[in-house]
Amino acid sequence: MNIYHRWYCRSGRWRRRLQETILPGLLRDVDLGDHVLEIGPGPGAATEWLCERTAHVTSVEIDRRLAARLKQRMDGSNVTVVEADATAMPLPDGVFSSALSFTMLHHVPYERQDALLAEAFRVLRPGGMFVGMDSTPSFSWNVAHVFDDRNPVDPGTFAERLASAGFRDPKVRVADNGGFAFRAKKPIECPARRRTEGVKA
């Protein structure tokens, strides 16, 4: 992320908006279960909110500095921070009750985004929900992402991509601000899926 993006994601303004408005709305009818996987926590504004609403949170963060800072902040809590690539997570199959992703998919290279969806499917328990949101390009979005990773996800094709990863009943809702929210469920009964290449057994 660029300097502005890092600053904004650490700001009180974003934390309040996320914790007071976005997350309560997005997850109001979602059963998180007892072990939540958070993909791409960044500075951890969502992590703080989640850890008060479930027994355990595992946060997977690829950025070494962000992972180290979040691990230090959450030391002694019910949060485990794993420094890893979410497209090849060093985590066992079928252990999480739900998986969450908030405004991070567009930071993943296009050619690896489907691998991330497949990994979320793999590590979820049967019946587990994959829920999240992402932003889409606009003038302000482009300005905020100058010299930054920006691989926007097309909400028009995202449900199909979730289905291709194995999820059932994928739903994508485009918001008035141009962003979108999504949710999908891992079937109760489904064939075992191979681990993503590069993950050690």
Domain positions in the chain are 3-185
Write out residues in the chain with pLDDT < 50, as ranges. Answer: 139, 142, 194, 196-201
Q: How many CA atoms lie within 13 A of 11 on its CB side?
A: 10
pLDDT at 201: 34
Q: Which residue has the tokens 């489904």?
A: 190
pLDDT at 137: 52
CATH for 3-185, options being 1.10.10.10, 3.90.1260.10, 3.40.50.1000, 3.40.50.150: 3.40.50.150
C-alpha 88/C-alpha 84 separation (Å) is 8
Q: What is the pTM of this model?
A: 0.85
pLDDT at 28: 93
List, in order, residues 6 or more apart from 154 with CB less than 8 Å away.
none
pLDDT at 197: 46
CB neighbour burial string for 98-133, b if at least 16 within 10 angstroms, e if fewer: bbbbbbbbbbbeeeebebbbbbbbbbbbebbbbbbb
